[in-house]
């Protein structure tokens, strides 16, 4: 039974036009504190496991595959600071409740165009104070196109665990870039270069920063070009990004279906 959290006509129009939308302060302070605790517990869990994981370098950056997840570390040589964990829900039960929360599931179902949805993937992004590195301009669809036939129906929702500001590296979007579909990648000779969007295909000057308080939700298309600068501030910038799909499909990294919303 739906509880009235679906998208308004105005939100549908905004998402269709710009490729993203923000709902501010969806989760209250106590809920946010619980999610922050889940984030730090997740980091502690993966760090304990990483010694037994499969470590490798891509373009000189350290990754570790462990317990069904991929852990990315900060770019500085020898850094032990975790940057990304995907999927994160394996490491703390509090993420499971978030995946099923109707405040997320109902608007996402409207974006998917389905009565029911399932989880595609989730990742915990961590930009630690004065250390968190940026993310180059990219679309999500080129990462996923070889793993599913419904890449157009994979909307993301970013749950802000901290206030997002220009100073701490708020995510930035290129409005309307999703309407061109999958864009060409760069050809810079690196291992991952093809996943970053060719800068000739969009105007960085059009970028809009997703500045919003903790507890807000940012919904965005798998085709919208997005990226973020480093965290130059003394504040944390943590976020969990959940990606959904029509119900009944298996997850990206795990050989099982995780339907959402009950």
**pLDDT for residue 262:** 73
Site of tokens 């959904």: 244
- CA–CA gap between residue 237 and residue 247 (Å, rounded): 31
Q: What's the CA angle centered on 134, arms 129 and 135, to 5 degrees?
A: 145
Using DSSP's 3-state secondary structure scheme, residue 27 falls into coil
What is the per-residue DSSP string for 80-114? --EEEEES-GGG-THHHHHHT-HHHHHHHHHHHTS
DSSP assigned state of 187 = -
pTM: 0.97
- CA–CA gap between residue 141 and residue 252 (Å, rounded): 12
- CA–CA gap between residue 15 and residue 25 (Å, rounded): 19
**pLDDT for residue 256:** 96
- Residue ranges of the chain whose pLDDT lies below 70: none
**pLDDT for residue 139:** 98
Tell the burial category of 116 from Cβ atoms under 10 Å away from its Cβ (0-12, 13-18, 19+).
Answer: middle
Q: What's the CA angle centered on 174, arms 122 and 165, to 5 degrees?
A: 70
* Full set of structural domains in the chain with CATH: 9-28+91-260 (2.60.120.620)
Crossing angle of helices 9-18 and 102-112, rounded to 10°: 60
* Spatial CA neighbour of 71 closest among 30, 21, 31, 123: 123
- CA–CA gap between residue 132 and residue 134 (Å, rounded): 7
Backbone φ, ψ for residue 189 (5° rounding): 80, 0
Tens digits of per-residue pLDDT, 33-77?
A: 999 999 999 999 999 999 999 999 999 999 999 999 999 999 988
**pLDDT for residue 101:** 98
**pLDDT for residue 257:** 98
**pLDDT for residue 2:** 81
- CA–CA gap between residue 109 and residue 79 (Å, rounded): 39
How does the average pLDDT of the chain come out, rounded?
97
* Spatial CA neighbour of 137 closest among 60, 204, 59, 237: 204
**pLDDT for residue 148:** 94
Length of the chain: 262
């Amino acid at each position: 039974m739906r509880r009235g959290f679906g998208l308004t006509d105005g939100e549908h129009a905004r998402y269709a036009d710009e490729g993203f939308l923000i709902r501010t302060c969806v989760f209250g302070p106590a809920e946010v504190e619980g999610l922050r605790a889940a984030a730090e517990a997740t980091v502690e869990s993966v760090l304990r496991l990483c010694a037994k994981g499969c470590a490798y370098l891509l373009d000189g950056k350290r990754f570790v595959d462990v317990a069904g997840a991929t852990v990315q570390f900060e770019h500085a040589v020898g850094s032990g600071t975790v940057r990304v964990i995907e999927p994160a829900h394996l490491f703390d039960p509090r993420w499971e409740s978030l995946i099923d929360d109707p405040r997320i599931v109902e608007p996402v179902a409207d974006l998917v165009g389905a009565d029911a949805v399932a989880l595609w993937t989730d990742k915990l992004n961590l930009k630690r104070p004065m250390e968190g590195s940026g993310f180059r301009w990219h679309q999500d669809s080129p990462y996923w196109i070889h793993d599913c036939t419904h890449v157009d129906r994979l909307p993301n929702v970013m749950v802000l665990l901290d206030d997002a500001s220009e100073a701490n590296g708020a995510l930035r979007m290129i409005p309307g870039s999703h309407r061109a579909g999958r864009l060409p990648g760069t050809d810079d000779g690196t291992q991952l270069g093809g996943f970053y969007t060719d800068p000739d295909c969009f105007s960085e000057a059009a970028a809009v920063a997703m500045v919003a308080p903790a507890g807000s939700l940012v919904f965005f298309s798998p085709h919208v070009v997005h990226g973020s600068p480093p965290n130059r501030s003394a504040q944390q910038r943590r976020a969990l990004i959940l990606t959904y799909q029509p119900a009944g499909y298996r997850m990206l990294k795990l050989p099982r279906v995780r339907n959402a919303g009950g």
